[in-house]
């Protein structure tokens, strides 16, 4: 198994590469979970992973071309934003299920109606999420991202690209 922990002996460039690529790997790891829609946490986890990856990019952006980094960061922001409505609906469905378990009478009837309505809306969102995942691949974003950040970063002390 590959050790995914950073080594304190690494220089800043290697640490930056490792961090950014590890954060992006977490985004990619959630694609199938979101696609299959069997775990409501998948949407949440892909959004969290994208936010963490964007934060790493923002923190370490001076080690690469800032225009390129901004492109990747903006793409990830748009990608993550598309999951917002689905996440809100997932949270609402979980909340309504909790409330319904303890409800009776007219309140149970109203909660059942709300629950079914939110579940239907969430089901309507699923094809949109799958389209976003397909577009991610069609745009070659994962390949371009990994290829770019696997390159050696700029050595800020020597102001040249390190050959690896």
pLDDT at 31: 96
Residue 1's pLDDT band (boundaries 50, 70, 90)?
Answer: very low
pLDDT at 68: 94
Q: Which of left, alpha, beta for 155 (phi over 0: left; psi -120 to 50: alpha)?
A: beta
pLDDT at 155: 57
Give me the number of domains the chain comprises: 1
Least confident piece of the model among 5-9, 91-95, 98-102: 5-9
Nearest-angstrom CA–CA distance, 84 and 16: 28
Domain assignment of residue 22, yes or no: yes
What's the pTM? Answer: 0.84
Residue 44 sits in a domain whose CATH number is 1.20.120
Q: Nearest Cα to 129, choosing from 70, 68, 69, 85?
A: 85
Name every residue whose Cβ is closer than 8 Å to that of residue 84 and which is 6 or more positions away in sequence.
47
Domain assignment of residue 103, yes or no: no
Residue 67 belongs to domain spanning:
12-84+127-161
pLDDT (tens digit per residue) in 130-144: 999 999 999 999 999
Least confident piece of the model among 5-9, 53-57, 62-66, 76-80: 5-9
Domain assignment of residue 72, yes or no: yes
């Amino acid at each position: 198994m590959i050790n995914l922990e950073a080594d304190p002996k690494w220089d800043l460039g290697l640490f930056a590469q490792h961090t950014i690529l590890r954060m992006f790997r977490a985004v990619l790891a959630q694609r199938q979970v979101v696609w299959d829609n069997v775990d409501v946490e998948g949407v949440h986890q892909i959004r969290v992973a994208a936010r963490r990856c964007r934060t790493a990019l923002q923190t370490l952006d001076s080690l690469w071309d800032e225009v390129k980094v901004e492109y990747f960061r903006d793409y990830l922001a748009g990608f993550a934003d598309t999951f917002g409505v689905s996440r809100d609906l997932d949270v609402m469905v979980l909340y309504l299920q909790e409330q319904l378990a303890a409800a009776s009478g007219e309140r149970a009837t109203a909660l059942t109606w709300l629950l079914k309505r939110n579940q239907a809306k969430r089901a309507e969102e699923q094809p949109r999420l799958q389209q976003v995942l397909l577009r991610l691949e069609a745009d070659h974003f994962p390949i371009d991202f990994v290829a770019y950040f696997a390159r050696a970063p700029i050595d800020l002390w020597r102001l040249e690209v390190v050959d690896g």
